[in-house]
């Protein structure tokens, strides 16, 4: 550790308490001086630097100073006989060889009136960082012509005076990041797939990781009805003013009617609280914050497996969750008995997160009869159903058919949470448009719930974006465009069904082991759960350049008919040759 004293030598130099404790002797460094300096020293007005060696590494780190280092009594800055001394503690971090203990870097000027005259010194005084990388800052004091200097990491020498002390200390501080203790986050298991795909130079590569629709040429697709809606918006010359916290009123009306049916009594009776939010993730996160605040003891039940971001959302909101059985690896189908048993065993009043249609990642949905049984159990246990509806109209091609599960629960008079997204069915991935809907038992309850959702949204994102909301409102609100949208959804869903059938045909024809691949046809939506484990999925990527999530999920929306044979070869090789 080094103690720098800038100012006039006043006699006894400050010594750190731990140095006294260890019995270290303070030795004043002898410096060559000229005749003029000797005369100044005789007048006790010379500048000096006292360097105390750092103690050898030991198994125990030296104790910190118990109190700020003493400074001399301040005097008039115009006095030539006595000037105040300003000791600064510079403790570069290092790893002790014996204990490997990291020490903190602290730049701490002792208490002195100079801080009030030079605010930058107070800023420097507040600087503190703990990092092994900071040890690269060689804060060594040298004397050249009686002027204190410091050497930075780049080797630059900086002269230290009374006036530039704060700036010099901050310059040294720049070499040491306050964020050295922040670890690198792991890559996202879904979005990280696209990053790895882009880095691959193979012409055979396929990106089956991210759920985004592609044409038969594997190109991004913008719906024609979306282009028409945007052209209509340009013709109207609409502005970019802020939306209210609850979002665009026309969008909220359209999305609730699309979800529940325009003639549903709960809409006409004012029982639905709807807020435009940031697509599916934002809607789920807003609902999670509501649960955490008003149902702090409740637990959320999540299917096993589920969409990769569900657990992140509830973890971030500090909402406890547990899993219920959903996927049966033996049949590559729904473990319905396990699902019912886990929901029945959950604490009364739990929130049950359900996928409205096209379960992600399995593509396995309950039958209408199974949905009835699920509703019975949830109602008996006084649970709260919480639907994630991300693929309405995109799974089967029918908006009404894909909303069956939600409407069933609402028809039974149950209070329901529903998160909606328009990323898939309208292709508005980057617009981040969605909604959170809460069906309540009375209009006044819906009003209170909506007011609290707005209260939570205000500090979270203030208000939602307008562009995507206007697209949805224009498409749903115009009968002609609404009809065109339904036709385009049928075409997109139909292409995925054709790809699913082609993949099944290729697997059945190429695999001579007799394995039954019919589960692929029983799944629905843009995803297929292949049943491949992590090692087999890694083989798909490393050997065949097919990028997918490690749980064996593939996005059929990113597959073309021409690539089905190649994908079938990769799946068969990985399934039979990789344990």
492 Cβ contact list (under 8 Å, min separation 6): 213, 221, 394, 397
315-336 average pLDDT score:
95
Residue 181 CB: number of other CB atoms within 10 A? 11
Residue 185 is assigned to a structural domain of this protein: no
Helix (H) or strand (E) holding 3: strand 2-6
What is the total count of domains within the chain? Answer: 3
Do 445 and 312 share a structural domain?
yes
Residues 419 and 560 both lie in one domain? no
Chain segment 62-98, per-residue pLDDT in tens:
555 555 544 445 445 454 444 444 444 443 433 333 3
Establish if 464 belongs to a structural domain: yes
For the packed helices 224-236 and 467-477, what is the interaxial angle rounded to 10 degrees? 110
End residue of a domain, out of 447, 477, 507: 477
| Same domain, residue pair 451 and 547 | no
Q: Do you find a cis peptide bond into 98, omega within 30 degrees of 0?
A: no
What share of residues in the chain are helix, strand, coil (percent, to 5)? 40, 15, 45
Same domain as 255, residue 144:
no
Structure tokens at 571: 């799946």
**How would residue 104 be classed by pLDDT, with cut points 50, 70 and 90?**
very low
User: Quick check: 379 pLDDT over 80?
Assistant: yes
Q: Is the pLDDT of residue 27 over 80?
A: no
Q: Give me the domain span that covers residue 313.
A: 242-477
Check whether residue 80 and residue 208 sit in a common domain: no
175 is catalytic: no
Q: Of 140, 174, 208, which marks where a domain is finished?
A: 174
Q: Is residue 181 domain-resident?
A: no
Q: Specify whether 41 is located in the same domain as 91.
A: yes
Report the pLDDT value the prediction gives residue 96, as an integer from 0 to 100: 36
| 487 contact partners, CB below 8 Å, separation of at least 6 | none
Same domain? For 97 and 17 the reply is yes
Q: Which of 4, 228, 307, 335 is catalytic?
A: 307
- Over its C-alpha atoms, the chain yields an Rg (Å, rounded) of 34
Please report how the helices 443-461 and 279-294 are oriented relative to each other, as an axis angle in degrees rounded to 10: 110
Give the model's pLDDT for residue 50: 45
Residues 116 and 207 reside in one and the same domain? no
Q: Give me the pLDDT at residue 195, please.
A: 86
pLDDT of residue 172: 53
Task: Based on the fold, state whether residues 39 and 89 are members of the same structural domain.
Answer: yes
- Average of per-residue pLDDT across 375-394: 97
Over residues 130-143, the pLDDT tens digits come to 333 333 333 333 33
557 and 417 belong to one structural domain: no
The catalytically annotated residue of 335, 388, 402, 551 is 388
Of the candidates 327, 323, 304, 307, which has an alpha carbon nearest to the alpha carbon of residue 530?
327
Same domain as 162, residue 249: no
Running DSSP on this structure, what letter comes out for residue 431?
G
Count Cβ atoms within 10 A of the Cβ of residue 512 and give its class: 0-12 exposed, 13-18 middle, 19 or more buried: exposed
What is residue 190's predicted lDDT score, i.e. its pLDDT?
A: 78
Within-domain flag for 237: no
**Interstrand relation of 553-555 and 105-109 (parallel, antiparallel or unpaired):** unpaired
Q: Is residue 227 part of a domain?
A: no
The per-residue pLDDT for 170 is 58
Work out the average pLDDT over 507-533: 93
Sign of CA dihedral 174, 175, 177, 178: negative
Q: Give yes or no: 365 in active site.
A: no
What confidence tens digit (pLDDT) does each residue in 225-250 have? 999 999 999 998 888 899 999 999 99
Residue 534 covered by a domain: yes
Q: Is 321 a catalytic residue?
A: no
- Does this model's pTM top 0.75? My answer is no
Can you give the CATH number for the domain in which 472 is found? 3.40.640.10
Q: Are residues 164 and 308 in the same domain?
A: no
For residue 382, whether the previous peptide bond is cis, meaning omega lies within 30 degrees of 0, is no
User: Do 507 and 575 meet the contact criterion of CB atoms below 8 Å apart?
Assistant: no
Instruction: Quickly count: other Cβ atoms within 10 Å of residue 29's Cβ.
Output: 11
CATH code, 504: 3.90.1150.10
> Which of these is catalytic: 424, 450, 502, 563?
424
Please report whether residue 316 resides in a domain: yes
């Amino acid at each position: 550790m080094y103690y720098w004293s800038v100012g006039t030598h006043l006699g006894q130099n400050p010594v750190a308490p731990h140095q006294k404790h260890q019995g270290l002797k303070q030795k004043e460094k002898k410096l060559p001086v000229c005749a003029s300096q000797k005369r100044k020293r005789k007048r006790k007005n010379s500048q000096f630097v006292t360097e105390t060696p750092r103690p050898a590494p030991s198994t125990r780190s030296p104790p910190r100073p118990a109190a700020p280092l003493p400074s001399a009594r301040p005097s008039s800055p115009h006095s030539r006989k006595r000037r105040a001394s300003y000791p600064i503690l510079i403790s570069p971090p290092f790893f002790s060889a014996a204990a490997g203990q990291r020490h903190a870097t602290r730049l701490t000027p002792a208490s002195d009136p100079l801080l009030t005259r030079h605010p930058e010194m107070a800023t420097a005084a507040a600087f503190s960082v703990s990092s092994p990388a900071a040890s690269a800052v060689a804060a060594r004091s040298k004397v050249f012509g009686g002027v204190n200097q410091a050497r930075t990491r780049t080797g630059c020498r900086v002269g230290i005076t009374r006036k530039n002390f704060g700036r010099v200390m901050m310059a040294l501080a720049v070499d040491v990041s306050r964020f050295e203790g922040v670890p690198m986050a792991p890559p996202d298991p879904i979005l990280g797939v696209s990053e790895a795909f882009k880095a691959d130079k193979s012409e055979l590569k396929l990106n089956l990781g991210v759920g985004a629709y592609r044409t038969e040429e594997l190109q991004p697709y913008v719906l024609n009805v979306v282009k028409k809606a945007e052209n209509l918006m340009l013709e109207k010359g609409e502005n970019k003013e802020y939306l209210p916290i609850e979002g665009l009123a026309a969008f909220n009306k359209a999305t609730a009617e699309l979800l529940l049916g325009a003639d549903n009594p709960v809409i006409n009776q004012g029982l639905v609280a709807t807020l435009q939010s940031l697509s599916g993730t934002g809607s789920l996160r807003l609902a999670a914050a509501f649960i955490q605040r008003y149902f702090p003891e409740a637990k959320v039940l999540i299917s096993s497996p589920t969409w990769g971001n569900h657990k992140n959302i509830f973890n971030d909101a500090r909402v406890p969750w547990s899993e219920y059985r959903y996927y049966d690896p033996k049949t590559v189908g729904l473990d319905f008995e396990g699902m019912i048993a886990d929901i029945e065993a959950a604490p009364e009043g739990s929130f049950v997160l359900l996928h409205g249609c096209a379960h992600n990642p399995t593509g396995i949905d309950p039958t209408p009869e199974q949905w009835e049984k699920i509703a019975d159990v949830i109602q008996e246990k006084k649970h709260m159903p919480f639907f994630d509806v991300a693929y309405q109209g995109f799974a089967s091609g029918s908006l009404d058919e894909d909303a069956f599960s939600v409407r069933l629960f609402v028809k039974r008079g149950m209070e329901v949470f529903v998160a909606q997204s328009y990323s898939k069915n309208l292709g508005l991935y980057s617009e981040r448009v969605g909604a959170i809907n809460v069906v309540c038992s009375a209009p006044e309850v819906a009003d209170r719930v909506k007011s609290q959702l707005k209260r939570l949204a205000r500090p979270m994102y203030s208000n939602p974006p307008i562009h995507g909301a206007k697209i949805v409102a224009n498409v749903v609100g115009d009968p002609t465009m609404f009809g065109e949208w339904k036709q385009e959804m049928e075409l997109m869903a139909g292409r995925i069904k054709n790809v699913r059938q082609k993949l099944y045909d290729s697997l059945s024809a190429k695999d001579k082991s007799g394995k039954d691949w019919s589960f692929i046809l029983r799944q629905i939506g843009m995803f297929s759960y292949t049943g491949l484990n992590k090692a087999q999925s890694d083989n798909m990527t490393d050997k065949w350049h097919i990028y997918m999530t490690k749980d064996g999920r593939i996005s059929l929306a990113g597959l073309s008919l021409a690539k089905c044979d190649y994908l079938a070869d990769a799946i068969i090789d990985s399934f039979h040759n990789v344990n």
